[in-house]
């Protein structure tokens, strides 16, 4: 082989290697969403900020106003992940909400709400599911860690069979599709992602007995590493599968709990659940909602 041919081969190999590295880098670069690209700040003036080139978003609350944001896209089924670090210290009276919702009087909604508390007392994670405008399906949990010390991942898996709530990939709640017995299930209304930090001291902490201590303001919650492996709604009749993580699959489409996950959700619900509407006979004197009799993990 001539020197010229050998040099050309080496250049060709080098170019191939550089192209492979570029493709790999591109895949990694889109493994998490960018807040500039994926979200709009919707209220709160300068209390909501996108930082670090779009990799971090913060919401703040003071006595004048809270703040919030929403996704640019609407989704019809998928898996949504967000890492959140909650308000530290005395967060009593504050609520950090992170949820999926459509619009209108018969809207669908899938809720995470974090109810603040006085220093040293645990947050309460409040969950709910609305279908065709009807909610009242609350479950509440303590967390098994301090959610103010570091970022933790809060996820929603939503497919045609069920909705799964996860914390650090541990399932805490499942809401099954029970349309067969007349229970509406969110399946036809595209939903945006919303989040807000706001004052709810009329009910959030101990039923409103503990008020917000404004001497501790501003209160701040932080967000990072948003991921959407989901179907993005593009028109009145179609959606396009989109992932902000090119290495993910679409396993969410049929995702259910395996044996290990059933053990984990049982552990969470036995040790950390503090309210379950399906056990509130005083609230439902005429009988528990129909889904409570049919679903094992609600």
Q: Report the alpha-carbon distance of residue 54 to residue 270 in Å, rounded.
A: 39
Active-site residue 109, yes or no? Answer: yes
Active-site residue 179, yes or no? Answer: no
Q: How far is CA 219 from the centre of its chain?
A: 20
Per the structure block, which two tokens stand in for 221? 């919650």
Name the maximum alpha-carbon separation found in the chain: 91
Q: Which of 109, 138, 251, 261 is catalytic?
A: 109
Q: Report the alpha-carbon distance of residue 86 to residue 59 in Å, rounded.
A: 10
Beta strand pairing status for 109-115 and 48-51?
unpaired
Residue by residue, DSSP assigns 152-213 as EEEEEEE-SSEEEEEETTEEEEEEE--GGGT---S-SS-BEEEEEEEE-TTTTTGGGTSPP-
Catalytically active residues are 109, 113
């Amino acid at each position: 082989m001539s020197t010229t041919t050998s040099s050309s081969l080496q250049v060709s190999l080098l170019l191939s290697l550089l192209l492979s590295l570029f493709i790999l880098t591109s895949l990694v670069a889109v493994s998490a969403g960018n807040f500039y690209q994926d979200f709009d700040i919707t209220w709160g003036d300068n209390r909501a900020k996108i930082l670090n080139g779009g990799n971090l978003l913060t919401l703040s609350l003071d006595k004048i106003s809270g703040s919030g944001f929403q996704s640019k896209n609407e989704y019809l089924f998928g898996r949504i992940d967000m890492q959140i670090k909650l308000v530290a210290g005395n967060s009593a009276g504050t609520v950090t909400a992170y949820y999926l919702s459509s619009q209108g009087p018969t809207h669908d909604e899938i809720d995470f709400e974090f109810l603040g508390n006085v220093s040293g007392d645990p947050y309460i994670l409040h969950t709910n599911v609305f279908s065709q405008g009807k909610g009242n399906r609350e479950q509440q949990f303590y967390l098994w860690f301090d959610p103010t010390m570091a970022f933790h991942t809060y996820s929603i898996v939503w497919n045609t069979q069920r909705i799964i709530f996860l914390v650090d990939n541990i399932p805490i709640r499942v809401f099954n599709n029970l349309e067969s017995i007349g229970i509406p299930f969110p399946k036809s209304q595209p939903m945006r992602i919303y989040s807000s930090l706001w004052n709810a001291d009329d009910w959030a902490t101990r039923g409103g007995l503990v008020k917000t201590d404004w001497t501790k303001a501003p209160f701040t919650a932080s967000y990072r590493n948003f991921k959407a492996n989901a179907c993005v709604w593009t028109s009145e009749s179609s959606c396009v599968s989109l992932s902000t993580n090119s290495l993910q699959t679409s396993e969410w489409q049929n995702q259910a709990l395996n044996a290990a996950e059933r053990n984990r959700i049982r552990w969470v619900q036995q040790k950390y659940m503090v309210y379950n509407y399906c056990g509130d006979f005083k609230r439902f004197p005429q009988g528990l909602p129909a889904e409570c009799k049919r679903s094992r993990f609600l």
